[in-house]
Amino acid sequence: MTRRKRLVQEVGGEIEDMHEELASKFTTTQNRGNPDQLPDPSAFAIPDGDNNDEDYAAEFEQQQQQVMMREQDEHLDGVFQTVGNLRQQAADMGRELEEQREMLEVVDNLADRVGGRLQTGMEKLRYVMRRNEDRLSSCCIGVLIVVLIILLILLLVI
């Protein structure tokens, strides 16, 4: 990070130097004669024989790499935020699943108790039905016989 800051400062210094050089050449041209005349473009040419082309290419490549690193940093920040969001969602889902598991255990226990009570009630009902089945049917048959006899007597008497 400090290397990047230093490089940005160096590039900023070079830009200011170029700006000052341009301003000085522009003011010398204005002072010489025609104030509307722009400086000669060849005045800004880099002299031959120096390795300035290689330096410029290396500097340009370094600037491009810095731009790419900044873009990568931005993309990595986005990925980091996305991963953080996913982690938070996963934690929320884990808590929700734990709560649902606890609720299902409570419901399961209640269902087991209700099922047990229902089974006990059914057994008691079967016992009562068996006990009353013989007595009740015998009583019904006896009542029906008595009613038939009364009806026959009434039929004969009338």
How do residues 79-93 score in pLDDT, each as one tens digit? 889 998 999 999 999
From 71, 54, 102, select the one nearest 110 (Cα to Cα).
102
Structure confidence by residue, pLDDT tens digits, 93-145? 999 999 999 999 999 999 899 888 889 988 988 887 777 666 667 778 888 89
In a domain, 8, yes or no: no
- Helix residue spans in the chain (DSSP H): 2-32, 52-157
In a domain, 13, yes or no: no
Q: Can you give the residue range of the structural domain that contains 66?
A: 46-157
- For position 47, what pLDDT does the model report? 59
In a domain, 10, yes or no: no
- For position 43, what pLDDT does the model report? 65
In a domain, 5, yes or no: no
For tokens 């269902």, the residue is 111
Q: What are the structure tokens assigned to 59, written together?
A: 């500097």
SS3 of residue 50 by DSSP: coil
In a domain, 102, yes or no: yes
For tokens 């009562």, the residue is 128
- For position 105, what pLDDT does the model report? 94
CA–CA separation, 146 vs 139, rounded Å? 11
Domain count, the chain: 1
In a domain, 41, yes or no: no
Q: What are the structure tokens assigned to 127, written together?
A: 């016992």
- Contact of 43 with 27, CB cutoff 8 Å: no
Structure confidence by residue, pLDDT tens digits, 11-26? 888 888 888 887 776 6
- For position 2, what pLDDT does the model report? 77
- For position 121, what pLDDT does the model report? 87
In a domain, 120, yes or no: yes
- For position 103, what pLDDT does the model report? 95
In a domain, 126, yes or no: yes
Q: What are the structure tokens assigned to 60, written together?
A: 């340009």
